A and B are shown apart, each in its own frame.
Chain A
Amino acid sequence: MSENQYTYAVARIRSKELGLLNNQFLEQLLAAKSYGECLKLLADKGWGGDEHLTAEEILMREREKTWSLIGELVDDLSVFDVFLYANDYHNLKAAIKLVCSGQEEHGNIFLSQATIPPEQVLEAVRTHAFGDLPEHMRETAQEAFESLLHTKDGQLCDLIVDRGALDAIHQTGKQATNELLRLYAEITVAAADIKIAVRAQKTGKPLDLIKRALAPCDTLDVDRLAYAAVGGVDAICAYLEGTSYADAVPELKTSPSAFERWCDNLLIRKIKPQQYNAFTIGPLAAYILARENEIKTVRIILSGKLNHLSEESIRERLREMYV
């Protein structure tokens, strides 16, 4: 594939990057006196517009805008599947629980930005036609469905689906030709594994269940991580000290949300050089991640304002911005 294939797209993305939220704007949002004032500031930036949308609708619309732009720029969106697998598997989880509980669909529990339409996932689960799902999802879907049907254990079902999602992300990342996509997959899977290990340690999960939940990745030895999770949080930290995630240990000791913030910031720092790349698909992938990051950050600020959290309390949860 020619490295110049995305020259037009990257030039458009360069212009679009001017519209990304920067730290200065986040400070303005933080300084806003109320939730309503935040929405007004966002509307001035083109988020939401004149219509009376809820915060969640505004964020959903922004995500749709991103994918609509990327759809214009790239003929084959499958190169970005790795970003959407989490949504696919979320939809699978929702479909399995809906079918097994025998309930009718109420409200929108499915995510629209996915590689396969949520209706197709629901139909496949409802008719037990797992062969209609993408190959990477079939086995996971069947196993999770049967597990929930026979054991009624929702947590086990979640574990199977989450592991399937991580495996799919890892596999797709390994096959990606672009360095940024590989990096995204690796950081996503490794961060998820660390979070799973910490959560499992806190809830006292047995070793075999932890091993089942952890997805293999290149920067972590999941067997050692699983044993460390059984040993305690200090054992997890001791293991991580010897990995490329050593810097995350203090954050991990602070809180799971501090660790999550560290992971998000790490990814943003890794993608920042794409601002100076005039070719390849890297800047497009970086733009998608930057938009996801700002949507996440705006959600944190809005929910903080809605719940009347202090400015400082919201600030310490904020992510670094791409621009």
Chain B
Amino acid sequence: MGLTFALLGAALAALLAGIGSAKGVGLAGQAAAGLVTEDPSQFGKALVLQLLPGTQGIYGLLVAFLTMSQIGIIGNPVEVSTLKGLLYLIACLPIAIVGLLSAIHQGKTSVASIGVIAKKPDQFGKAMIFPAMVETYAILALLVSILAVFGVNGLNL
């Protein structure tokens, strides 16, 4: 039962953060395509802004991978108690939920920043800061999830 809960946590981390990134990157990609239609020279800048919401998916994958390696889905099989499994599930939630929401919002901010470079291509640096700010919260959630996953592993439950 513990293994089921822990694997559910890993799956949620990969699923929700991945869905958020797909939405964010997709949205920013539409705006990037619109900009490049009119000004193909902006491809590089538009691509960077499109990729920014993609990191949450990677964070989710990282936490899922770590969790799976701790519970023996990857590598040597280990015994996971129900309580420990539940704790792994909880540990995965920060990056799962924050990843989903922050990627969508980061995608929207990237769209707005693509609007900035459409009108003022020389302001790319400033335009990139706005979606990058959203990243802060995904990183914080990733940090909490990683610390929690390692912390749960050290518990003797």
Contact = CB atoms under 8 A, between A and B. Distances in A.
Interface of A: 4, 7-12, 14-18, 276, 278-279
B30 interface: yes
- Which of A4, A14, A18 has the most chain B CB atoms inside 10 A of its CB? A14
A12 B119 contact: no
Nearest to A5: B30
A10 B39 CA distance: 14
A11 B119 contact: no
A278 B111 contact: yes
Closest 9 CB pairs of A and B: A11-B34, A15-B38, A14-B118, A11-B31, A7-B30, A8-B34, A12-B34, A8-B30, A278-B112
B39 A8 contact: no
B32 A11 contact: yes
Interface of B: 27, 30-35, 37-39, 108, 111-112, 114-115, 118-119
15 contacts: A7-B27, A8-B30, A8-B33, A8-B34, A11-B111, A12-B35, A14-B119, A15-B34, A15-B35, A15-B37, A17-B119, A18-B118, A18-B119, A278-B115, A279-B108
A59 B64 CA distance: 60
B115 A11 contact: yes
Contact of B38 (A4, A7, A16, A279): A16
A32 to B, nearest CB: 27
Given A4-B27, A7-B30, A14 B111 contact: no
B118 A7 contact: no
B30 A14 contact: no
A186 B108 CA distance: 31
Contacts of B34: 7-12, 14-15
Nearest to B117: A14
Contacts of B108: 278-279
Nearest to B38: A15
A15 B31 contact: no
B25 to A, nearest CB: 12
Given A11-B31, A15-B34, A15-B37, 11 more contacts: A4-B30, A7-B30, A7-B111, A8-B30, A10-B31, A11-B33, A11-B35, A12-B37, A15-B39, A17-B119, A278-B108
A14 B35 contact: yes
B38 A10 contact: no
Contacts of A14: 34-35, 114-115, 118-119
A10 B27 CA distance: 12
A276 B27 CA distance: 17
Contacts of A276: 115
A279 B119 contact: no
Contacts of A9: 34
A274 B115 CA distance: 12
A274 to B, nearest CB: 11
A14 B115 CA distance: 6
B107 to A, nearest CB: 9
Contacts of A18: 118-119
A7 B39 contact: no
Contact of B114 (A4, A11, A16): A11
A7 B113 CA distance: 12
A15 B27 contact: no
Contacts of A12: 34-35, 37-38
A115 B66 CA distance: 60
Contacts of B31: 7-8, 10-11, 278
A18 B119 CA distance: 6
Contacts of B30: 4, 7-8, 11
A143 B111 CA distance: 50
A9 B111 CA distance: 12
Nearest to A16: B38
A279 B27 CA distance: 10
A279 B33 CA distance: 14
B119 A10 contact: no
A181 B30 CA distance: 24
Contacts of B118: 11, 14-15, 18
B119 to A, nearest CB: 6
A272 to B, nearest CB: 14
Contacts of B32: 11
Contacts of A279: 108, 111
Contacts of A10: 31, 34, 115
Contacts of B37: 12, 15
